[in-house]
Amino acid sequence: MFRNLLSKSLLCGTLAVFTVLTVVPQQAEAGPVRVRFTPLFGTPFDNLDWGGVVDIGDGACTAEGNVSNLAGPCANEFSFLSGTLTLTDMVSSATESIALVPSSSQVLQVTRTGLLPSEFDGASSTPFAPVQGTIDAAKYGGEGAWFSLVLLGGTDVQLYWFDKNPGSYFQFPSLYAACGKPGDNAVNGLRCGTSSNTAIAIFQPVPEPSTYALLAAGLVAVGFVARRRARRS
């Protein structure tokens, strides 16, 4: 009798946990947003697949619409929390994940219809500091090219490439504007360009640590119930 009651209690608790996991994120207040993107590169890296995630924190901003991070009620509220660029060689299936430097790029503006993370409709930014790829599909002239991400506004994400490290000079609009077309361009002694395919960003809430804790608790409860039932049978 006690075992049955305990099993039912644990099962109910597990269902409650998963209810929280599915319902609470929809009711959450403003919070960090995760930007996902997974396009193909195109010329001159025809066998390169790129993607990744970038997390944006919104500070204490409570405004909606096209919200500037440079002026107005949300000035200096938005920031990059983390970012990862993933490069994949579509021929060999070799993959590498490269950490982006959050402080090297600035959020310029976000667009949202409400305050929930799922109501983000777009973001624009300055470029991230270029990082070097090492897999074969990311090489240019036998050397690993350097790549930088830029959020173009709306849901567009662009990947820039350089045949060598452009350094901090790339942070100036004059250089990345001059390199901002697909193909192979020569600018200030650099070979550079952008991905032929612009990524379409998907905006999602960033999972909270408490969410992972609830999920773990639910899995433990399910395992415990299953084990008790196995022993009884």
Give 140-169 pLDDT, tens digit per residue. 999 999 999 999 998 899 999 999 999 887
- Give the model's pLDDT for residue 217: 43
CA gap 53, 74 in Å, rounded: 23
Q: How confident is the model at residue 229 (pLDDT cuts 50, 70, 90)?
A: low
CA gap 108, 79 in Å, rounded: 9
Would the pLDDT of 212 be above 50? no
Total residues belonging to the chain: 233
- Give the model's pLDDT for residue 31: 74
More confident residue, 188 or 209: 188
- Give the model's pLDDT for residue 34: 87
Q: How confident is the model at residue 3 (pLDDT cuts 50, 70, 90)?
A: very low
Nearest to 78 by CA among 63, 103, 60, 64: 60
Q: How many CB atoms lie within 10 A of CB 53?
A: 20
- Give the model's pLDDT for residue 139: 95
- Give the model's pLDDT for residue 85: 95
Q: Long-range contacts for 226-230 (Cβ within 8 Å, ≥24 apart)? A: 228/3, 228/6, 228/7, 229/7
More confident residue, 3 or 188: 188
Q: How confident is the model at residue 82 (pLDDT cuts 50, 70, 90)?
A: very high
Predicted TM-score (pTM) of this structure = 0.75
More confident residue, 204 or 7: 204
CA gap 35, 160 in Å, rounded: 18
CA gap 182, 118 in Å, rounded: 31
Q: How many CB atoms lie within 10 A of CB 129?
A: 19
Ranges 60-64, 82-86, 196-200: which has the least confidence: 196-200
Determine the straight-line distance between the first and last CA of the chain, rounded to whole angstroms: 15
Helix axis angle for 209-232 and 2-27, nearest 10°, is 160
Ranges 99-108, 133-142, 189-198: which has the least confidence: 189-198
